[in-house]
Structure 1
């Protein structure tokens, strides 16, 4: 765990590695039946027992992918939950087999970079067939002849085995976020008796091959099935909901009257995209082209990445943030105007934001193998369809449209879509098909029946505007779950992760309170308290001068001018007199300096945010401690009064006994040592 977080919350973390079977029965067969794999576990141990549940409890925290939820964010969320539960519950997490501190799957490309870096790269990732083949052979040489050992089902079996072997007397609650919900759903189908509840926050539907059930219709199965290759379309659907909300909100649509279709935010966005791609030499197009790896060739499209693609992805990153999404209409307006007063503001924001985007953690190789084996549609959509899903959306993450080639090379798929995809600067996949691949078959196994296990409950949490885990999957999953012991709570217009984002007006985390109550009541949906969800602070799209200054560097969001100084004749300043691009040599150094200042400001803002969370949590702990102390003193006073009445009733003259009781009470409240207390009481 991050040492700063552990120290701030004064918690002790225990880490260990356990050896678990490489292959579980029914999943795969290893060449060596005794082959094992190391899985890294982490625990925050309970300090005291919880009197509410009456039993010792444990929570398993299954995080999202590392490019969505960093390790530091996982540590902070675990610490906050531990504090919310007043240190009464063991909290466990793990690095999935094949990742992190567990036995990791790792391969390098021929240029020395991580193989998966090109898979998950935006726009310019270029993957090589020889690198994929070399990686597949490398894993074979390590003894991983059947990569089904690294499936979602295998990860679930790891948790099941640890629970069965070491937590037989515990009540276990599973909490999972985003990608972690895929593992949690597999785990719940194992019906471990110790698991009494499961909270799926931002649930993704089961992989398409795993939702089959005799009691489910084909439409229900398709609705509940999550397919990564359709993520661009899913993102666009959520984005449409956001744009509609923004258009209806007066503070968000202040520059977009909506009186005619041409004044709508959505229409204006597509007009901006057409302008950017229609004139790639324009000043605003250059801002986006310069930041996109200097116009590297996109292997998926055999062309320079269009500036509209980059802007869509920038908007998508903003949509994932409850703070930045309010500035989407601002960027839309400024890119549409693209005047001299906009160029420096846009250049600095684009560079700073996309640097953060490109600097995010790259998912492990495991996630690429799992995605292409279990989460990609079969038969695959072709390149045109994948690209259209992205470009038909006003705002979309657009990562999957570049991954068709990776999918084809990892799986050895010989469908027409893959044959066409591999003709551009790549050999046929025939060699890959004849040898090892970086994938596994999963359709024939792990077919589950969405039945809620006996003695357990399932609580789904979803946010209405979560583009990472679109809420339609949680809704479809809830409908497909067979049984009545289930509940679904929705945070309207919220972002990813209800537990970490649903807040009350006083700054308290409502989502975390709901989770803690669910844990305290052992998953009893009739007893847990979720009333605060009705009081969750409605998200605001209003932007202030302070937030604008932090995000854009100016106080006026729509018309503020960022003056970078007049040292260079070609710099773009308040007057906007220069016609040179923002990235020209004459202004480059000033822009770089300004970028550094903005980056430092953003870094400071993140540190202050973390500090405020930690300080606020510490103050909350002190407040709780003070309340407990006051309650205890009040209880002691009432106890004394009761005993006085009792003694008076038993004996008419009880002055000596009362004096003794008062003395003992005063001594118990004094800071004197135990020895002194004993001698004083003895003298009395």
Structure 2
């Protein structure tokens, strides 16, 4: 199928009149991309929005193509980069050079670089932080969905993934009479949601995942003594952490599992916990979790070799010695700064999506260290304190001892009338809620709460059993490379937002949850086709020979060194509210696109402004 694709930079106000705390007459450019419908009757516009906050639309392009084909070319498919990220006036530290490869933390922003970065960004935006609020971004979407419609009778449906659901919910609050349908996939609740509680949500989903392992005959067989003894597998994982952190021998050979014990100079459990949590977020890679646990618990010399191979696969060299605040999304090839903008993430999260006042870093850290899963959101507390000028009591411990340099201005904006309030479904519109029951990023209780609280009756809730985050991307089918979530959304689009026409028949054809690691994935990450019991492949043995010689002697020191890290070490890797592509999309398809052509057209910034 031939696909015509157009791209445009559209000029929009930096400050909208309705944003009371924003004052500027400047214009900014916002990036929009669309695939033009090519059937004889194109009567629908579908907008698909990424999350973050701070993630660009790059990850949405696969879904755009899937929706285009499943709606038979009857719809124009749009996406955009939220203002402040990607190609839409990104909030980058250009003068401060904090996110350049040669800076202290490479493309990440360290806590030491953050004050200068804040001053830099504030200078670029005339100090108008409210210009990059959720409401400002939602106003862009309101204006564009209305202004780019070919005619007033064109049906408009807006899809939000992850944090993108909060953006779509904010659009609802603006009263868009021209939008007939809203799809919320991986739902962020509008009331009482906090990124500071993210590790709690991860463990709620993680516990259910491990419970399913314990009830599965194959997975059960790998941990029989614990399962029959009613010891939760989460507790087994905590015992592994305790042994690795203490550098105590264990396993059948009394081995230390040297690779895992030496992952980082900080407690090895920090690295291992974050690594397993990242796996938990992927429908494909989470099957590796029981196998990693099994080998770490058994810990033979062969397990040592396999785990060494895995370590080499996942680690990356450290870029510097400062504390990293929000490392750039690091598992997807391409221009990382184009894909994720950490300063926009900081601005929105610390202004509207945190706990006020902030919990202390020590309190948050104690919780994570008592749990089997977690990314360590506590590492964001120092950045929150810098952005808020150390206003909260818990921030006093992070205030610089030296007062020789003035603090930067606050890097937050005032919360508006829409904050912490639930939307009302607009007249003549409907809302479709999609959620996976094993979603660690937007845990299902948030979606259920939002569904119950939203005002209006034209709504439908659909759960995808055992699915992780974002059903349009993580509900693979037994045949084909289009996910079940896409088929459900497509039926909603083809039914012009009529909830009774939504087709969920694809549920019966989904790939079921399995704890067997596919041989290709096992070979890629374990160096053997049998993730649980296989010996290292000969080629893999050659690959790790140097690494085995280079493993340092195990340190007797138990004192943490916060300056040392490897991949997912002491840094916070936060694929929190956007779609994580780490092996998800690229592994699920290597699509032959010989039959797809894209005519990319760069439109002048002023071309479409007159329609708004």
Tell me the TM-score normalised to structure 1 length: 0.72
Match of 1:19 in 2: 11
**Equivalent residue in structure 2 for 1:460, among 415, 428, 433:** 433
**Are 2:10 and 2:32, in contact at CA under 8 Å, matched by a contact in 1?**
yes
Alignment partners' CA distance in 1, 2:184 and 2:296: 39
Where relative contact order (Cα < 8 A, 6+ residues apart) is larger, the structure is: 2
- Once the two structures are superposed, residues 59-78 of structure 1 have per-residue CA deviations (whole angstroms, 9 ceiling, x without a partner) of 111013399x8855321111
Query: Helix, strand or coil: the match of 1:18?
Result: strand
CA 96–110 in structure 1, closer or farther in 2 if over 3 Å, else same? closer
Match of 1:315 in 2: 276
- Once the two structures are superposed, residues 198-246 of structure 1 have per-residue CA deviations (whole angstroms, 9 ceiling, x without a partner) of 000001112xxxx3xxxxxxxxxxxxx3211110111011100100011
**Equivalent residue in structure 2 for 1:518, among 478, 492, 506:** 492
Q: CA deviation at 1:526?
A: 2.3
Query: Helix, strand or coil: the match of 1:92?
Result: strand
Alignment partners' CA distance in 2, 1:526 and 1:555: 45
Larger Rg: 1
Higher deviation after alignment, 92-101 or 440-449: 440-449
Match of 2:33 in 1: 42
Match of 1:336 in 2: 297
**Are 1:291 and 1:351, in contact at CA under 8 Å, matched by a contact in 2?**
no
Match of 2:608 in 1: none
Match of 1:226 in 2: 193
**Are 2:352 and 2:419, in contact at CA under 8 Å, matched by a contact in 1?**
no
Match of 1:10 in 2: 2
Q: How does 1:160-179 map to 2 (within 5 A)?
A: 160-167=142-149, 169=152, 170-179=154-163
**Are 1:503 and 1:536, in contact at CA under 8 Å, matched by a contact in 2?**
yes
Match of 1:201 in 2: 185
Match of 1:76 in 2: 62
Alignment partners' CA distance in 2, 1:530 and 1:565: 45
**Equivalent residue in structure 2 for 1:277, among 245, 248, 267:** 245
Alignment partners' CA distance in 2, 1:565 and 1:516: 45
**Are 1:280 and 1:286, in contact at CA under 8 Å, matched by a contact in 2?**
no
**Equivalent residue in structure 1 for 2:218, among 241, 246, 251:** 251
Indicate whether 1:485 and 2:461 are aligned: no
Query: Helix, strand or coil: the match of 2:82?
Result: coil
Q: How does 1:285-434 map to 2 (within 5 A)?
A: 286-288=258-260, 291-292=263-264, 295=265, 305-355=266-316, 358-360=330-332, 361=336, 363-364=340-341, 365-398=343-376, 400-422=377-399, 427=402, 431-432=406-407
Alignment partners' CA distance in 1, 2:429 and 2:404: 46
CA 245–262 in structure 1, closer or farther in 2 if over 3 Å, else same? closer
CA 194–284 in structure 1, closer or farther in 2 if over 3 Å, else same? farther
CA 326–513 in structure 1, closer or farther in 2 if over 3 Å, else same? same
Query: Helix, strand or coil: the match of 1:252?
Result: helix
Query: Helix, strand or coil: the match of 2:145?
Result: helix
**Are 2:11 and 2:27, in contact at CA under 8 Å, matched by a contact in 1?**
yes
Structure 1 stretches lacking a partner, 5+ long = 1-8, 212-224, 296-304, 585-601, 619-684
Match of 1:626 in 2: none
Query: Helix, strand or coil: the match of 2:219?
Result: coil
- Once the two structures are superposed, residues 372-396 of structure 1 have per-residue CA deviations (whole angstroms, 9 ceiling, x without a partner) of 1111100100012110231222122
Match of 1:265 in 2: 233
Indicate whether 1:96 and 2:82 are aligned: yes
Q: CA deviation at 1:285?
A: 6.6
Q: CA deviation at 1:146?
A: 2.2
Query: How many equivalent residue pairs?
Result: 542
Alignment partners' CA distance in 2, 1:499 and 1:236: 23
Cα RMSD (Å): 3.5
Query: Helix, strand or coil: the match of 2:500?
Result: coil
**Are 1:39 and 1:94, in contact at CA under 8 Å, matched by a contact in 2?**
yes
Indicate whether 1:611 and 2:600 are aligned: no
CA 263–379 in structure 1, closer or farther in 2 if over 3 Å, else same? closer
**Are 2:309 and 2:540, in contact at CA under 8 Å, matched by a contact in 1?**
no
Match of 2:164 in 1: 180
Q: CA deviation at 1:455?
A: 0.8
Q: How does 1:204-215 map to 2 (within 5 A)?
A: 204-206=188-190, 211=191
**Equivalent residue in structure 1 for 2:512, among 535, 538, 543:** 538
Alignment partners' CA distance in 2, 1:430 and 1:39: 36
- Once the two structures are superposed, residues 111-130 of structure 1 have per-residue CA deviations (whole angstroms, 9 ceiling, x without a partner) of 74359x999999xx7412xx
Alignment partners' CA distance in 1, 2:361 and 2:540: 47
Tell me the TM-score normalised to structure 2 length: 0.80
**Are 2:49 and 2:60, in contact at CA under 8 Å, matched by a contact in 1?**
no
Q: CA deviation at 1:290?
A: 5.1
Higher deviation after alignment, 12-21 or 498-507: 498-507
Match of 2:139 in 1: 157
Structure 2 stretches lacking a partner, 5+ long = 318-328, 554-580, 597-612
Match of 1:475 in 2: 448
Alignment partners' CA distance in 1, 2:174 and 2:219: 47
Higher helix share: 1
Q: CA deviation at 1:143?
A: 4.2
